Amino acid sequence: MTAHPSPSGDPLEQIEPEAPAIEIRDLHKSFGDHEVLKGISLEVRTGEVVCVIGPSGSGKSTLLRSVNLLEEPTSGQILIEGIDILDPEVDVDRVRTRIGMVFQQFNLFPHMTVLGNLCLAQQRVLGRSRSEAVNVARENLAKVGLADREDAYPAHLSGGQQQRVAIARSLSMNPDMMLFDEPTSALDPELVGDVLEVMRTLANEGMTMMVVTHEMGFAREVGSRVIFMDDGQIVEEGDPREVLARPREPRTQAFLSKVL
Amino acid sequence: MAMRRSTRRRVVRLAMYALFVAIIAVALLTTDWPRVANQFLRSEIAVDQFPDIITIALRNTLLFTLIAFTGGLLLGILLALMKLSSIGPYRWFATGYIELFRGVPALLTIFAIGYMLPIALGIQVPFRPVGSGLLGLILVAGAYMAEVIRAGIQAVPKGQTEASRSLGMSPFRTMMFVVLPQGFRITIPPMTNEFVLLLKDTSLLFIVGTTPVLKELTVFARDEASRTGNSTVLLMAAMLYLVVTIPLTRFAAYLERRLARSR
């Protein structure tokens, strides 16, 4: 169901509890002549952990980045909690506060302390007071195991710590869902575990998650569904234990034989 | 006769040192020191300059520099944002503006604002006579600073904007709290340069006329030098410029090191 702007003029007030967290319909995206997404349709229901795998250049990051409109789709529909976010009436900034995003390169603000990173948007966007924001920030730092690093600058943290701070920064906005764009790909191998552990905890708490990843172990153990993409299309999807162990499609088989 | 490479290098270096010392020695020995002292180091003339050289000349130089720098900075930010705008006409305007005011001598701009604007358009800049001169300086400084700031903004990785927007921050807030603060630290060295240039360019304000209380260092020194027929004041003015610029450049270098550490 598509939400229509309410008489009050604020379509965001019309969240439908029954609607899927994310619903994508026939999404296309081209960069110039090059079509990166060739008609993607998928649904992520509340509480699901959907892992997107596939070779590089398959469009999986572009798909994820379309969900919070970091990439503007060429055509198609994206519904977040039942609301068509491509509707020009919709305030994209407000939609984004509901969607946490974690990047491969962390993208912490280097000129602010850890606490500053976590409080900025809480105060500037959600209008929380400083003390309120600090409380929320500390709670989330404790959750990712970095309660003692709130005064550090990002440059003084390891990659794994930076990524956990980035997760805590997103969580501090109390999002309804989280998007992860290859969150462990830029990390030294020994630091990957801590980040995956935090993500596993989040999943167990019922957070709706969409994860682009190369971590097949994580997809298998934590994912409620896995989507295999190649050449801008969804080739195969299903239960991770099933798809990763016995892929039906030749392209999935070829990919998995290389990475597993 | 074979000399070892390192030996030969040492001999050449020694010869160069000797030549340098010899040139300095000749210069020092042939200089008419009493005459130099008489022209540049007359203590009674120096004492006579106080307190005006500080309370009027240096004060005005600093005041004019600060006004021009602040104005130029605000204008520069505006122009930089226009130049990076997705709206074509904004970009074109900023590009044209920057090319114009960067390509034309500051003196000509000040002159134009000071004399042509009132005559041609009947517009009178307030705070005569320095007001129009300061406006000219701001217009020129804005053009230079716009390019510095634009480069600073573009040096901030795109991921920073994406992270900020993903948190629901508007484009404006993203610029204010995430991009500009990081862009500015990149611009510290060129901005210091800009400040020093402006400090010296305040000497151009005399072209639109001045009054005894509005004299800045260079004009003050020139007038005193011709009044006394002696160059002592010129040397004093030069020293006062350095008293401002050297600590400033040192401070900027310190600031740069300190900010680099938190990166």
Q: What is the ipTM of this complex?
A: 0.90
Q: Give the closest-approach CA distance of A154 to chain B in angstroms.
A: 8
The B-side interface with A (CB below 8 A) comprises: 157, 159-160, 162-170, 173, 177-178, 181-182, 185, 261-263
Q: Inter-axis angle of helices B59-83 and B88-103, to 10 degrees?
A: 140
Q: CA angle A171-A177-A180, nearest 5°? A: 80
Tens digit of pLDDT at every position of chain A (260 positions): 444 444 445 555 555 667 899 999 999 999 999 999 999 999 999 999 999 999 998 999 999 999 999 999 999 999 999 999 999 999 999 999 999 999 999 999 999 999 999 999 999 999 999 999 999 999 999 999 999 999 999 999 999 999 999 999 999 999 999 999 999 999 999 999 999 999 999 999 999 999 999 999 999 999 999 999 999 999 999 999 999 999 999 999 999 998 87
A167, A198 contact by CB (below 8 A):
yes
pLDDT of residue A202: 96
pTM for the model: 0.80
B120, B78 contact by CB (below 8 A):
no
Q: Which residues of B touch A93 (CB under 8 A)?
A: 165, 168-170
Q: Among A12, A68, A106, A107, pick the best mutation site for testing chain B contact (most B Cβ within 10 A).
A: A107
Determine if residue A76 is left, alpha or beta; phi over 0 gives left, psi from -120 to 50 gives alpha, anything else beta: left
- Alpha carbons within 13 A on the beta-carbon side of A103: 19
Structure tokens at B220: 């003050």
A33 Cβ contact list (under 8 Å, min separation 6): none
Q: Give the closest-approach CA distance of A125 to chain B in angstroms.
A: 6
Cβ of B181 within 8 Å of Cβ of A111? The answer is yes
Place of tokens 């151009």: B204
Digit-coded pLDDT (tens) for B200-218: 999 888 888 778 888 888 9
A141, A168 contact by CB (below 8 A):
yes
Cβ of A101 within 8 Å of Cβ of B159? The answer is no
CB atoms within 10 A of CB A19: 19
d(CA A209, CA A49): 5
B12 Cβ contact list (under 8 Å, min separation 6): none
What's the gap between Cα A235 and its chain centre?
Answer: 21
Give the pairing of strands A233-238 and A225-230: antiparallel
The H or E element spanning position B82 is helix B59-83
Of B159, B160, B168, the CB nearest to A173: B168
Q: How many helices (H) and strands (E) does chain A have?
A: 9, 10
A114, B262 contact by CB (below 8 A):
no
Q: Inter-axis angle of helices A159-171 and A130-143, to 10 degrees?
A: 130
Tens digit of pLDDT at every position of chain B (263 positions): 567 888 899 999 999 999 999 999 999 999 888 888 888 888 888 777 788 888 888 998 999 999 999 999 999 999 999 999 989 999 999 999 999 999 999 999 988 888 887 777 777 777 677 888 899 999 999 999 999 999 999 999 999 999 999 999 999 999 999 999 999 888 988 999 999 999 999 988 888 877 888 888 898 888 888 888 888 889 999 999 999 999 999 998 888 888 776 55
What's the gap between Cα A197 and its chain centre?
Answer: 16
Cβ of B262 within 8 Å of Cβ of A153? The answer is yes
The chain A residue lying nearest B157, using CA atoms, is A107
> Distances in Å between the alpha carbon of A108 and those of A56, A122, B176?
24, 15, 16
Would you list the DSSP string of A79-132?
EETTEETTSTTS-HHHHHHTEEEE-TT----TTS-HHHHHHHHHHHTS---HHH
Of B165, B173, B182, the CB nearest to A124: B173
Question: If DSSP codes are grouped into helix, strand and coil, which group holds residue A34?
Answer: strand
Q: Among A124, A165, A179, pick the best mutation site for testing chain B contact (most B Cβ within 10 A).
A: A124
Structure tokens at A233: 């299309």
Cβ of A153 within 8 Å of Cβ of B170? The answer is no
Q: Give the closest-approach CA distance of A108 to chain B in angstroms.
A: 7
